[in-house]
């Protein structure tokens, strides 16, 4: 079923893992796909597979963390396919350390690839769609960001990764609110799947079974991503989707909780009792992964 017939899709980090599964699924759904990956050989291999199967794709290895290079990714999509409809921000890395052992380089690399990488190319895409909308052209744009359970609940040994992914969750909310006027929806994923990153940390848990349903196969996430990139998802924006195996859910975002109100300033010696009462009324948060 060609749910994305002739839609133009950019996918970052699409040389393997989740990104590769998205690229293949979008192509199968009729989309024209720009496969971005810093590893050009990996990107070329995915493009070759799509082309052999009758699809349309081009490879790109520009650096998503460089603002000017990210402009080149969009420019190539426009030159090759004439438009842009979907941006899937998927590329990422891990540099796991306990916080007390985390180096500045570990912090900078992860935050740059995840958070700045999401910003750079999305900035160019948003400006493209805004200008088209202002010119009277009907826009059907989609940004699909990638957060993580680590960004939603935290994860021991991943403070840099969790901070970046939490930032992406917040970024998604703002992008969705600001870009709706231009015909653009923005949603995010918190997927659990076997990838180059997760295999390093959860190798035993995510090991491919010898038979039966492969719960952590990255292909399990792809149908949601294709649907979010299609015309059918136009009414859905600002949501965080958690997907794992055959489970699909929408995460509950930040909400105002219990409150106590006075008509004057709180005194220091009143705070402890008030906080105790608020905590008694508060639904417990999910535990930090690994705690």
For the chain, the C-alpha Rg in angstroms (whole number) is 21
Name the pTM for this structure: 0.92
pLDDT tens digit sequence for 102-159: 999 999 999 999 999 999 999 999 999 999 999 999 999 999 999 999 999 999 999 9
Q: Look at residue 237 in the predicted model and tell me its pLDDT.
A: 98
Q: Give catalytic status of residue 276 as yes or no.
A: no
Task: Report the relative pairing of strands 8-11 and 56-60 from DSSP bridges.
Answer: unpaired
Task: Report the relative pairing of strands 247-250 and 240-244 from DSSP bridges.
Answer: antiparallel
Six-digit token string for 250: 């929408």
Task: Provide the 8-state DSSP code for 116.
Answer: I
Using 50, 70 and 90 to split pLDDT, how confident is the model at 1?
low
Between the two ends of the chain, the Cα-to-Cα distance in Å is 44
Q: Give catalytic status of residue 148 as yes or no.
A: yes
Active-site choice (128, 161, 230, 237) = 161
Active-site choice (165, 230, 233, 237) = 165
Task: Report the relative pairing of strands 32-36 and 8-11 from DSSP bridges.
Answer: parallel
Domains defined for the chain, CATH in brackets? 8-250 (3.40.50.720)
Q: Give catalytic status of residue 101 as yes or no.
A: no
Percent of the chain with pLDDT over 70: 93
94: pLDDT strictly greater than 70: yes
Q: Look at residue 285 in the predicted model and tell me its pLDDT.
A: 87
> Which single residue is written with the structure tokens 């990488």?
117
Q: Look at residue 203 in the predicted model and tell me its pLDDT.
A: 54
pLDDT tens digit sequence for 225-261: 999 999 999 999 999 999 998 899 999 988 899 999 9
Percent of the chain with pLDDT over 90: 86
- The least confident of 34-43, 72-81, 181-190, 191-200 is 191-200
Question: How many whole angstroms separate alpha carbon 274 and alpha carbon 265?
Answer: 13
Question: How many whole angstroms separate alpha carbon 286 and alpha carbon 291?
Answer: 11
Q: Look at residue 146 in the predicted model and tell me its pLDDT.
A: 97
pLDDT tens digit sequence for 185-197: 999 999 998 766 5
Q: For residues 33-42, give the mean pLDDT.
A: 98
Q: Look at residue 280 in the predicted model and tell me its pLDDT.
A: 95
Active-site choice (21, 128, 147, 148) = 148
Backbone dihedral angles phi then psi of residue 277, each to the nearest 5 degrees: -65, -40
198: pLDDT strictly greater than 70: no
**Averaged confidence pLDDT in the chain:** 93
> Which single residue is written with the structure tokens 């004057």?
264
Q: For residues 16-25, give the mean pLDDT.
A: 97
Q: For residues 85-110, give the mean pLDDT.
A: 97
Q: For residues 78-98, give the mean pLDDT.
A: 97
CA distances to 93, 130, 150, 224, 233 from 237, in Å? 26, 17, 22, 14, 8
């Amino acid at each position: 079923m060609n749910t994305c017939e002739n839609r133009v899709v950019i996918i970052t980090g699409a040389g393997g893992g989740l990104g590769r599964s998205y690229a293949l699924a979008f192509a199968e759904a009729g989309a024209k796909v720009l496969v971005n990956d810093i590893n050009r050989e990996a990107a070329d291999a995915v493009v070759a597979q799509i082309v052999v199967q009758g699809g349309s794709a081009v490879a790109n290895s520009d650096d998503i963390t460089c603002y000017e290079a990210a402009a080149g990714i969009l420019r190539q999509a426009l030159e090759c396919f004439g438009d842009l409809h979907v941006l899937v921000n998927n590329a990422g890395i891990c540099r796991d350390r306990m916080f007390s052992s985390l180096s500045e380089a570990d912090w900078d690399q992860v935050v740059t690839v995840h958070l700045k990488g999401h910003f750079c190319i999305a900035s160019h895409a948003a400006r493209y769609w805004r200008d088209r909308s202002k010119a009277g052209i009907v826009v059907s744009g989609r940004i699909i960001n990638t957060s993580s359970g680590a960004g939603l609940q935290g994860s021991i040994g991943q403070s840099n990764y969790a901070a970046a992914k939490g930032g992406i969750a917040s970024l998604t909310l703002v992008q969705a609110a600001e870009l709706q006027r231009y015909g653009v929806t923005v949603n995010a994923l918190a997927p659990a799947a076997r990838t180059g990153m997760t295999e390093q940390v959860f190798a035993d848990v995510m090991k491919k079974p010898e038979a039966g349903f492969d719960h952590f196969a990255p292909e399990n996430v792809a149908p949601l991503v294709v649907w979010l990139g299609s015309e059918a998802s136009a009414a859905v924006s600002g949501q965080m989707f958690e997907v794992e195996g055959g489970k699909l859910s929408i995460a509950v975002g930040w909400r105002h909780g219990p409150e106590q109100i006075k008509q004057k300033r709180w005194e220091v010696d009143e705070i402890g009792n008030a906080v105790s009462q608020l905590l008694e009324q508060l639904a417990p948060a999910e535990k930090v992964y690994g705690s």
